[in-house]
Amino acid sequence: MPRLQISDKRKTRLAEKLGIAGLRVTEPRLALAHLLFRHGNRHVTAETLLDEALRAGLKVSQATVYNTLNQFQAAGLLRQVQVDQARSYFDTNIDAHHHFYVEDEARLIDIAADAVNVAKLPDSPAGYDVERVEVIIRLDKKAAKK
Amino acid sequence: MPRLQISDKRKTRLAEKLGIAGLRVTEPRLALAHLLFRHGNRHVTAETLLDEALRAGLKVSQATVYNTLNQFQAAGLLRQVQVDQARSYFDTNIDAHHHFYVEDEARLIDIAADAVNVAKLPDSPAGYDVERVEVIIRLDKKAAKK
DNA sequence: ATTTGTGCAAATCGTTTGCATCTGA
DNA sequence: TCAGATGCAAACGATTTGCACAAAT
């Protein structure tokens, strides 16, 4: 029984998205999809998404948030970004692109694919295909000017 | 009371390495350092290193392996590589370089820095410095030829 | 002497799972 | 109707931590 208001038009659009991904259309999934996809590209963790959902008045369990994130990722609606041992980040931007990561703030920032040019790549070991090339630029807060 | 045999010459060399890094020279650290640094570049996890230590007859605890890996990393003797949510990898190669990662086999492979050419990098957000540029090439087992 | 390291076991934390119950097709 | 989804709480697995004891400086 979500307390979140979603227009019928939007519901239909999200339901379609879930359907195409091969996922059943359920209320928790619709609501989480709404939160995830309503405002451009985002980075969430299970924790931040659950918080957001609860604050929005949704009655979703932690388990459902985890399941949903994993299913969305398996279905290609989200991409997992591995920058921090402590927690999993999910990115609503599923196009090829890269990331800045500010460790001190646990903050991810997208980098458009064409802003990075990987000019030379080594051959992959025999028997293996490249699945994805990830560029992660780790950032530090700038030291005080001397 | 480690059962591992380390020559005095090697001990001295490792002790020096620890000393420079600002770490006290203790038997567990010497022994783990020996395992880590004796044969070129390696990738270990706490689990694989502990296994190796126990098989070598060392009496080290899990806690010490974790502590040692973290201290070595903080001291710059090891670099942490984050490719898998499940476990932390440590790389004895601390020079700038990149990685292949075979997810299905949880296997890391070094890529020499000069085998990758990142020709264009975006400006970092104002107030931040680039700490490190990481390129991770995720590999899949090649699909059967059709 | 005092600081730092070590081992052990318990604690922590993100994530997963088992199972009874509900829901969507 | 009934496979699949959800919630709850318990389980899990990697990592960390508290504390008593041992080793380094």
Tell me the CATH architecture of domain A8-82.
Orthogonal Bundle (1.10)
- Separation between the CA of A63 and the C1’ of D10 (whole angstroms): 13
- Separation between the CA of A36 and the C1’ of D18 (whole angstroms): 41
Q: Are B133 and A137 in contact (CB < 8 Å)?
A: yes
* B60/chain A closest Cα distance in angstroms: 24
Which residues are within 8 A (CB) of A94 and not within 5 positions of it... i.e. 6 or more apart? A76, A77, A78, A79
CB of B108 lies under 7 Å from some atom of strand C = no
Is pLDDT of A146 > 50?
A: no
pLDDT of residue A3: 65
Cβ density class B13-34: b for 16+ within 10 Å, e for less: ebbebbeeeebeeeebbbbbbb
The sheet carrying A79-81 orders its strands as A43-44, A89-91, A79-81
pLDDT tens column, A24-55: 999 999 999 999 999 989 999 999 999 999 99
Tokens of A121: 């790549």
Nucleotides of D under 7 A from a protein CB: 4-9, 13-18, 23-25
CB of A70 lies under 7 Å from some atom of strand D = no
Distance of CA B33 to the CA centre of its chain: 11
Q: Are A116 and B118 in contact (CB < 8 Å)?
A: yes
Tokens of A33: 């999809």
Kindly report whether the global pTM for this prediction surpasses the value 0.85. Answer: yes
Range list for CATH 1.10.10.10 in chain A: 8-82
Cα distance between residue A21 and residue A26, in whole Å: 13
Nucleotides of C under 7 A from a protein CB: 4-9, 13-18, 23-25
Mean pLDDT of A58-70: 97
Which of B45, B66, B85 should we substitute to test contact with A (largest number of A Cβ atoms within 10 Å)? B85
| In contact, A104 and A83? CB cutoff 8 Å | no
Q: What is the mean pLDDT of each run of 10 residues along chain B (146 residues)?
A: 77 95 96 95 97 96 98 97 95 96 93 92 94 95 71
Nucleotide with minimal C1' distance from the CA of A26 is C24
Q: Does B127 touch chain A (CB under 8 A)?
A: yes
